[in-house]
Copies of this chain bind each other. A is one copy, B any other.
Amino acid sequence: MTRNLPAAHSSSTMRSLKERQREERAALILAAAQEVFTERGYYDASIDEIAARAGIAKGTVYLHFASKEDLLVALVEQQIVGFLSFVDQIIGEPLTVRARVEQILLNVYTRMQEQRNQVLLELNNRIGLTKSVIEKRENLQAHITQAMQRITALLEEGQRSGELDSTVPTPLLVATFVTLVSPSGYELLLISGQISPAQLAAYVSRIFFPRLAAPSLQQA
């Protein structure tokens, strides 16, 4: 009696299957890491708990990430990339700068509320990601730089169009914006009690933009 193998997959298919499985595994670990890092902070998070939460063994984590620091960096990078792609998408839309800024705020705050990730985790050293760590990682460095450039471009456009105060150095505007968008900023913003991401975005926008400028999102 012969065994009927389910149609010999081409080696390339096999590889891509394995590849896919591997990536799924990595994503699973990253998700677990995100949870634990968020709950406990980088130092109090243990590889043991991350592995347990991902349903795998401790050693397996190291098949995907070379070290705990690497895991953090990968996580941060993932988030930056996600942020970057959203920004790239929004930035091309035919809206006022203010409207686009508000879209970004809304996206960030919504994701934060969903606890699904803490965007821009990395622009901020909340978890203990020291500058030296970032500097060692060229990729990460590059992604962060790109994100900052996008934001800079957007806000510069706002200054040129008069939506933003052009007497303030752009980098300062950028810094302010980033601060408002970072997790620690978000946490503080939450002090005001239950407030929806949309409201939060609108209010922050109102603070950020000259109060007499054009209206936005809400009432367009």
Interface positions of A (Cβ within 8 A of B): 1-2, 40-44, 123-128, 130, 148, 165, 167-169, 171-176, 178-180, 182, 184-185, 187-193, 195, 200, 203-204, 206-208, 210-213
Q: Of B128, B179, B192, which is within 8 A of A185 by CB? A: B179
Q: Are B212 and A211 in contact (CB under 8 A)?
A: yes
Q: Are A178 and B171 in contact (CB under 8 A)?
A: no
Chain B residues within 8 Å of A210, by CB: 210-212
A44 to nearest B CB, angstroms? Answer: 8
Identity of the chain B residue whose Cβ is nearest the Cβ of A148 in the assembled complex:
B191
A19 CB to nearest chain B CB (Å): 18
Interchain CB contact under 8 A, A172 and B207:
yes
From B165, B179, B203, give the contact of A179 (CB < 8 A): B179
Query: In this complex, which of A187, A188, A206 has the most chain B Cβ atoms within 10 angstroms of its Cβ?
Result: A188
Which of A44, A126, A179, A189 is the most central at the interface, judged by chain B CB atoms within 10 Å of its CB?
A179
CB-based contact A169/B192 at 8 Å: yes
Are B185 and A175 in contact (CB-based, < 8 A)?
yes
A179-B185, A189-B175 known; A169 vs B130 contact (CB < 8 Å): no
Closest B residue to A167 by beta carbon equals B206
A185 surroundings in chain B (CB, below 8 A): 175-176, 179, 185
Answer whether A172 and B208 are a contact pair too, CB < 8 Å, given A180-B179, A184-B182, A188-B178: no
With contact pairs A175-B191, A179-B185 given, residues A168 and B206 touching in the complex (Cβ less than 8 Å):
yes
Q: Kindly state the separation between the CA atoms of A200 and B130 in the bound complex, as whole angstroms.
A: 24
A174 and B203 contact, CB distance less than 8 A: no
Q: Chain B residue with minimal CB distance to A192?
A: B171
Closest Cβ of chain B: how far from A165's Cβ, in Å? 5
Residue of B nearest to A207 (CB): B176
Q: How far is the CA of A37 from the CA of B188 in the complex (A)?
A: 22
Closest chain B residue, CB of each to CB of A170: B192
> Are the CB atoms of B188 and A179 closer together than 8 Å?
yes
Q: How far is the CA of A148 from the CA of B191 in the complex (A)?
A: 11
Shortest Cβ gap from A216 to chain B (Å): 13
Q: Closest chain B residue to A182 by CB distance?
A: B184
